[in-house]
Chain A
Amino acid sequence: MRYVPNTEDEVRTMLERIGVPSLESLFSRIPARLRLDRPLALPRGAGEQEVLGALEALARRNACLDTHRYFLGAGVYPHFIPTAIDALASRSEFYTSYTPYQPEISQGTLQTIFEWQTMIAGLTGLDVANASMYDGASATAEAALMAMRVTRRPKVVVSAGLHPHTREVLETYLDGPGGKIVAAARGPDGRSEGVGALVDDETACVIVQNPSFFGVIEDVGDAAKSAHACGALAIVTVPEALSLALLRAPGALGADIVCGEAQSFGVPMSFGGPHLGFLAARERHVRQMPGRLVGETVDARGKRGFVLTLSTREQHIRRDRATSNICTNQGLMLLRATIYLALLGARGLRELAVQNLALAEYARSRIRATPGLELPFSAPVFNEFVVRVADSAPAALARALEAGIVGGLDLAPFAEDLGPAILVCTTELVSRADIDALVAALAGDPR
Chain B
Amino acid sequence: MTDAPAPQDRDSTTAVHRVGNAARGVSYEEPLLFERSRPGRVGFELRELDVPAVDPAEVLGEAAIRSEVAGLPELSEVEVVRHFTRISTWNYAVDLGPYPLGSCTMKYNPKLNEVASRLPGFANAHPLQPEALSQGLLALIHELEQHLAEVSGMDRVSLQPAAGAQGELAGIMMIRAYHEQRGDRRSKVLIPDSAHGTNPASAALNGYDTVSVPSGPDGLLHPSAVAAAMSEDVAALMLTNPNTLGLFEEHIVEICEIVHAKGGLVYGDGANLNAILGIARPGDLGIDVMHFNLHKTFSTPHGGGGPGAGPVGVKHLLAPHLPVPVVRRQDESEGGGFTLDYEFPRSIGRLHGNFGNVGMLVRALAYIRSLGPAGLRRCAEMAVVNANYLLARLAEEYPPATRGHVMHECVLTDRRLEAHGVTTLDVAKRLIDHGYHPPTIYFPLIVPGALMIEPTESESLEGLDRLADALLDIAREAREEPERVRGAPHHTRLARLDETRAARRPILRWQPAGSE
Contact = CB atoms under 8 A, between A and B. Distances in A.
Contact of A268 (B63, B123, B139): B123
B253 A322 contact: no
A119 B489 CA distance: 31
Nearest to A165: B353
A203 interface: no
B352 A274 contact: no
B120 A274 contact: no
A97 B164 contact: no
Contacts of B427: none
A114 B32 contact: yes
Given A90-B114, A299-B496, A342-B33, A172 B506 contact: no
Interface residues of B, number: 205
A380 B64 contact: yes
A103 to B, nearest CB: 5
B112 to A, nearest CB: 5
Nearest to B60: A380
A82 B44 CA distance: 8
Contacts of B459: 5
Contacts of B499: 103, 297, 307, 309
Contacts of A397: 130
B176 interface: yes
B369 A54 contact: yes
Interface in A1-44: 1, 3-6, 10-11, 13-15, 17-20, 23, 25-31, 34-36, 39-44
Contacts of B376: 40, 42
Interface in A348-368: 348-355, 357-359, 361-362
A325 B93 CA distance: 25
A346 B68 contact: yes
Contacts of A66: 120-121, 124
B46 A51 contact: no
Nearest to B163: A328
Given A286-B508, A322-B197, A273 B356 contact: yes
B7 to A, nearest CB: 17
Given A18-B405, A111-B87, A348-B43, A63 B123 contact: no
A168 B349 contact: yes
Interface residues of A, number: 208
Contact of A354 (B56, B120, B278, B369): B56
A421 to B, nearest CB: 15
Contacts of A217: 60, 64
Contacts of A129: 508-509
B432 interface: yes
B231 interface: no
B419 interface: no
Interface string A315-348: 1111111101111111111110011011111111
A132 B162 CA distance: 12
Interface in A96-151: 96-109, 111-115, 117-123, 125, 127-129, 131-132, 134-138, 145
A58 B125 contact: no
B204 interface: yes
A176 B94 contact: no
A88 B137 contact: no
Contact of B46 (A18, A165, A355): A355
Interface string A296-324: 11111101011101111011111111101
B87 A327 contact: no
Contacts of B44: 82, 343-345, 348
Nearest to B359: A270
Nearest to B121: A59
Interface string A260-290: 0100000011111111000000000010000
B349 A171 contact: yes
Given A88-B81, A92-B94, A300 B498 contact: yes
Contact of B496 (A31, A269, A300, A433): A300
B228 interface: no
B372 A307 contact: no
B205 A64 contact: no
A107 B51 contact: no
A208 B80 CA distance: 35
Given A104-B429, A104-B496, 18 more contacts: A4-B375, A26-B385, A62-B125, A63-B129, A80-B47, A87-B81, A102-B92, A109-B304, A112-B304, A138-B162, A270-B358, A271-B354, A272-B355, A301-B495, A341-B72, A345-B43, A345-B72, A361-B54
Closest 9 CB pairs of A and B: A122-B71, A272-B354, A45-B372, A331-B305, A59-B121, A61-B136, A272-B127, A332-B303, A92-B95
22 contacts: A5-B458, A17-B392, A29-B247, A43-B369, A45-B372, A56-B119, A74-B128, A76-B126, A78-B124, A93-B91, A94-B88, A100-B305, A103-B494, A129-B509, A217-B60, A268-B359, A295-B503, A307-B499, A322-B201, A345-B73, A359-B49, A361-B52
